[in-house]
Amino acid sequence: MLNKKVMTITSSNKLSYRDAFMLIIKRDLTIAFRHRDDILNPIIFFIIVVTLFPLGIGPEASTLSRIAPGIIWVAALLSTLLSLDNLFKSDHNDGSLEQMLLSPHPVFILVLAKIIAHWLVTGLPLIFIAPILAVLLHLNENSYGALMLTLLLGTPVLSLLGAIGVALTVGIKKGGVLLSLLVLPLYIPVLIFATSAIDTSAMNLPYSGQLAIIAALFFASLTLAPFAVSAALKVSTN
């Protein structure tokens, strides 16, 4: 019924790297948008965690403004951490991950696409919502620029490093909390430099040094993480 030719060993039926990359991004975004929740939830978690602190600590503006950068960044860390579970777990559970590993493309390209899609859905929205929460926490007025910039450069690092942790734990039944043990220590440098940049900016001092380091972290993890992730995936699906 289908007009097929004789089978051949071939290397032609293959997408370009760019097409494969776009295909995965498109798919992951489709799935995320299918449930709108996937996009709203990290934001809402972020908002709730940030609002827990005034409730737990008390409403004094001076204390809050003192601790605002730390709280916003810790909340960003945690909300990324929570959303990481979606990155490979569901694909592993229904066998799609296996299929991706078997596809005729370098695994790191597919992995990179998945990480970027994850960041678009969970990291990017944080950057837009953070200034509003900063107002609630009486963040110093000089610090908004630094807050946005550190989030813009820092959240991709969180997604990239987090992906390594998820890839290592994806085959393990209850990886949920193990994941945080693996990933949170890796997040600490980002946390320290980012909050330090914001604190410096509050004193109206230049914070380009810290920003440069975060940028360096970003490029380092962008180039190295996809390889670590694909190696880890091969191990944990074995």
Partner 1 sequence: MSITNSAFPLISAGKLTCIREDRILFEALNIEINAGDIVQVEGPNGVGKTSLLRILAGLSEPFEGKVYFNNKLINRNRELFHQNLLYLGHLPGVKGEMSAQENLSFNLALHGLDSEAAEQTLQEVNLLGFEDALASHLSAGQHRRIALARLWQSKAPIWILDEPFTAIDKLGVKKLEKLFLQHVKQGGCVILTTHQDLSLPDEQVKKIVLTYKF
Partner 2 sequence: MWKWLHPYANPEVTYHFTGKILPWFVALTVITLSTGLVWALLFAPADYQQGDSFRIFYIHVPAASLSMGIYVGMAVAAFCSLIWQLKLADASAAAMAPVGAVFTAIALLTGSAWGKPMWGTWWIWDARLTSELILLFLYLGVIALHNAFEDKNLAGRAASILTLVGVINIPIIKYSVEWWNTLHQGSTVSKLGKPSMTIDMLWPFIFCFLGFALLVTTIICIRFRTEILARNSIRPWVRNLVILENK
Question: Please, what is the minimum distance in Å from the beta carbon of residue 25 to partner 1?
Answer: 12
177 binds a second copy (CB under 8 A): yes
124 binds a second copy (CB under 8 A): no
| CA 107 to each of CA 46, 226, 227: distance values in angstroms, whole numbers, following the listed order | 31, 8, 8
Burial of residue 9, with CB atoms counted within 10 A of its CB: 0-12 exposed, 13-18 middle, 19 or more buried: exposed
Could you give the angle at the alpha carbon of 106 between the alpha carbons of 92 and 123, nearest 5°? 60
- Phi then psi for residue 163, to 5 deg, are -60, -35
In terms of CB distance, is 59 or 104 closer to partner 1? Answer: 104
36 binds partner 1 (CB under 8 A): no
Quick note: the x/- pattern for partner 1 over 103-142, rule CB under 8 A, is: xxxx------------------------------------
Residues 6+ apart with CB under 8 A from 104: 13, 14
Number of residues lying near a second copy (CB under 8 A): 46
Among 81, 84, 100, 126, binds partner 1 (CB under 8 A): 100
- Phi then psi for residue 190, to 5 deg, are -60, -45
Question: Please, what is the minimum distance in Å from the beta carbon of residue 22 to partner 2?
Answer: 28
236 binds a second copy (CB under 8 A): no
The answer to whether 182 touches 162, Cβ cutoff 8 Å, is no
Dist CA 3 CA 117 (whole Å) = 37
In terms of CB distance, is 25 or 82 closer to partner 2? Answer: 82
The interface region with partner 1, picked from 15-23, 40-48, 76-84, 200-208 by CB under 8 A, is 15-23
Name the amino acid, one letter, at 235.
V
Binding residues (CB under 8 A) for partner 1: these are: 2, 4-11, 13-15, 20, 23, 27, 30-31, 34-35, 90-91, 93-96, 98-106, 173, 237-238
